[in-house]
Amino acid sequence: MFVMTHHKRPSFTLSDTTFHFVDGDPATVLEQAREAAQGKDVRLGGGITVLRQFLAAGLVDTLHVAVAPVKLGSGLRLWESPDELLDRFHLEVVPSPSGMTHHPFWRR
Domain ranges for the chain, please list them. 1-60, 61-108
The mean pLDDT value for 43-49 works out to: 84
The mean pLDDT value for 41-47 works out to: 85
More confident call, 31 vs 46: 31
The packing angle between helices 48-56 and 26-37, to 10°, is 90
Give the list of residues 6+ apart from residue 52 with CB closer than 8 angstroms, or none.
78
Cα separation, 60 vs 54, in Å, equals: 6
pLDDT at 31 over 90: yes
For the chain, the average pLDDT equals 90
Cα separation, 42 vs 90, in Å, equals: 20
pLDDT at 46 over 80: no
| Number of neighbouring beta carbons within 10 Å of residue 6 | 6
Per the confidence metrics, is the pTM higher than 0.85? no
